[in-house]
Structure 1
Amino acid sequence: MLTDRRVADSLSTMPKSPASKSKGLDHVALAILDLLRTNPAGLDIEEIKAGLTYGGTHTHVDRRLRSLRKYYDIPGKRHGGRFIYILGEQKTGETDSGAVSGKLRAQVLGLAKGRCQMCGKTIAEDGIKLQVDHKVPQDWGGLTVLENLWAICLDCNNGKQAHFASYDQDEMTALLKIESVHLRIATFLKMHINEDVDSNMIEFVANAKERQEDWQKRLRDLRYPVIGLKISTGRYQTPQGFTRSTYRLENWRDLPHDHRQLIRAWEKKVNRPALTAKLGLKNVQP
């Protein structure tokens, strides 16, 4: 671990990067970039903050790391009880700046019709202000397109950001790249095995690749004997009076590589006796 003095010295002696300035990164982001360049083994948040002459809060550093990740691979990993950030390769090709155009913003707000698309509060009845937000965060690979934007109130946006910050970015980025919606949901539940997971997060994971008209059915599919996951359901009420569901994975088994074909086959009752015998399923009602 570097001392505060060594981190500060490495910053003061490092020249600024003209190439990075052209990307619109501010001076704080550039300072963090220089720190990571001069410390290839990685730095944790406190070490980065120690090297910034302006001080800075955890939120400020997080925000600048997010802006840098648009242009550089900066994986985070645990090392000796610390969570460190390591500067990787510069990204090539076109990047998504995250800026929402006026036209796109108008489309998103028009679809919301004055209602928060997360909690249901309205501008007219509750006096909320709507913010256009990325459903899948850019840090996790989300794009600035209509399908990945929604209008939510300030409270929901703050709560969402705080909740998402509790997840490991690299883990979630890898998860959301999984093509199979069944495997994506199952893997997410496995990350929280024997814990209650809010239905909003399941829906979020299910819709990460493509819009699922009935994502709850994908959960039911995972309970089929040919898949064999035990997923229990719970309910709770939000402060606004909305009823939400939770899901808990109580066991794990790897999904068969042909899980989608098995699911489709099981849905035809005529196939169930043969599948039960072939797969050696026990205590199954045909």
Structure 2
Amino acid sequence: MTDEQDDMTDQDESRPLPEPGSQELQELVPDAETRCVYQVLYESPDGPLEMGEIRRRVEELMGKANLQMDRRLRSLRTYFEVPATRVPGQRNTFVYPLLGWRPDAEQRTARRAIRAADRALTLHSYGYRCAACGRSPKEDGVKLVIDHKVPLDLGGTNDPENLQPLCVEDNHAKQALFADYEENAGALRRSMTLPEVHLRIGELLKALSGQPVPKELIALVAREENQGDPAKRLRELRSLGWKIPCSKRKDGRKVRSFYTLQHWEPWPEQGPQAAVARLERARRRAQRQQNG
């Protein structure tokens, strides 16, 4: 069973989906372009569509291109189950079925606009600079947008601590990065909002147990920006008894690292971060005693 299928086992199949032109849909999805994507998914009697076909049909209905399809799908996933489903026998081909309501649709926060005060606070806190590259509108002529560190469809919120300014270029790069791992959305939802980095990485690996997980995906979940090292966190998990061998693959001119969970231990009662710190203190004491 895939992560997406597992997430959908409890969905409310008795609740009909809203009609494309209904008032219910307009209240849930105020953006017209996103409602158009919904309409295309809803009105696909021959089965789910690939991204290229979805884009083509939406462009025909809207009369324009560059519709940020990944963003529109993420918006729909606030309320609806729209998994990226791999086409059997085709490694990199996915279709996007509209399966029904999310099981937690009524409890989820709507994709409402960020409050002006929170927007201003976020820009001020980062010195009116992009959180990724450090460029600013005044010095570099870039445009800043307010980004959710954890996307709303993966459990993020509009709370100020989940907001950061990004230049348009880095914001688009981040959207593309999440799109690359769209098939892992279920695993990301389970792990990205957990309070400790070891919990986030560990629960991601557990959700994808037995599968080689790229280091880039682990870093995405770790959410430590430039302060953390995923390889170090994996070593720390190993010190707690986890078995996570590393393998390497050549991808063009690059060599990529992958980690496969083979065995995991229950989380320590005091939490993994405290347990790792305790083990590190014990290691240092033993080293000092050995060195005299």
User: RMSD between aligned alpha carbons?
Assistant: 4.1
**Kept in 1: contact 2:84–2:96 (CA 8 A):** yes
| Structure 1 equivalent of residue 13 of structure 2 | none
Alpha-carbon distance in 1 for matches of 2:82, 2:147: 23
- 2:236 aligns with 221
- Matching of residue 173 in structure 1 with residue 189 in structure 2: yes
The residue that corresponds to 1:30 in the other structure is 35
2:100 maps to: 89
Confirm or deny: 8 A CA contact 2:29 2:35 kept in the other structure.
no
Whole-angstrom CA distance in 1 between matches of 2:68 and 2:136? 30
Q: Scaled by the length of structure 2, what TM-score is found?
A: 0.64
Q: Alpha-carbon deviation of 1:163?
A: 2.0
Q: Is the 8 A contact 1:36 1:86 kept in 2?
A: yes
Partner of 1:182: 198
What are the equivalent positions in structure 2 for 1:151-166 lying under 5 Å apart? Answer: 151-166=165-180
Residue in 1 that maps onto 2:78: 70
- 1:266 aligns to 2:288 (yes or no): no
The answer (yes or no) to whether the contact 1:132–1:149 under 8 Å persists in 2 is yes
Tell me the CA shift for residue 78 of structure 1: 1.0
Residues 1-12 of structure 1 mapped to structure 2, 5 A cutoff? none
| Identity percentage of aligned residues | 31
Q: CA deviation at 1:175?
A: 3.6
- Larger relative CO (CA 8 A, sep 6+): 1 or 2? 2
| In structure 2, distance between residues paired with 1:24 and 1:229 | 42
User: Which letter maps to 2:221?
Assistant: V
Q: Distance in 2 between matches of 1:57 and 1:74?
A: 22
- Deviation larger for 173-182 or 102-111: 173-182
- Equivalent residue of 1:20, what SS? helix
1:144 alignment partner, one of 153, 158, 163 = 158
Post-superposition shift, 1:255? 2.2
2:264 aligned with 1:255 = yes
Take 1:158 and 1:140, find their aligned partners in 2: how far apart are those partners?
A: 17
Matches for 1:203-222 after TM superposition, within 5 Å: 204-207=220-223, 215-216=228-229, 218-222=233-237
| CA shift digits 1:63-95 (9 cap, x unpaired) | 332332223222221123341222233322452
The answer for the alignment partner of 1:197 in structure 2 is 216
Residue identity opposite 1:16 in structure 2: G
Mean Cα displacement is larger for which, 165-174 or 101-110? 165-174
SS of structure 2 residue aligned to 1:92: coil
How far the C-alpha of 1:262 sits from its partner, in A, is 6.1
Aligned-pair distance for 1:125? 4.0
Q: Cα distance 1:187–1:56, how it changes in 2: closer, same or farther (>3 A)? A: farther
| Separation (CA, whole Å) in 2 of partners of 1:49 and 1:230 | 40
Contact 2:128 2:136 in 1 (8 A): yes
Contact in 2 for aligned 1:193/1:248 (Cα 8 Å): no
Q: Which amino acid aligns with 1:25?
A: P
Query: 3-state DSSP class of the match of 1:165?
Result: helix
Name structure 1 gaps, 5 residues minimum: 1-13, 233-245, 274-286
Q: Which residue of 1 aligns with 2:53?
A: 47
The CA deviation at 1:146 is 0.7
CA contact (8 A) 2:84 2:94 kept: yes
Write the distance in 2 (CA, Å) between the matches of 1:60 and 1:250.
32
Instruction: Identify if the C-alpha distance between structure 1 residues 115 and 70 changes in structure 2 by more than 3 Å, giving closer, same or farther.
Output: same
Provide closer, same or farther for how the CA distance between residues 16 and 197 of structure 1 changes in structure 2, counting only shifts above 3 A: closer
Distance 1:193 1:67 in 2: 29
- The AA in structure 1 aligned to 2:119 is R
Contact 1:231/1:247 (8 A) holds in 2:
no
User: Conserved in 2, the CA contact under 8 Å of 1:70 and 1:96?
Assistant: yes
| CA distance in structure 2 between the aligned counterparts of 1:15 and 1:268, rounded to whole angstroms | 60
Q: Distance in 2 between matches of 1:61 and 1:269?
A: 51
The structure with more radius of gyration: 1
Q: 1:133, 1:150 within 8 Å by CA — same for their partners in 2?
A: yes
Gaps of 5+ in 2: 1-18, 248-254, 287-292
Secondary structure of the structure 1 residue equivalent to 2:166: strand
Cα distance in 1 between the residues matched to 2:32 and 2:67: 16
Does structure 2 retain, via aligned residues, the 8 Å contact 1:226–1:263? no
Change (3 A) 1:103 1:174: same
TM-score, scaled relative to structure 1: 0.65
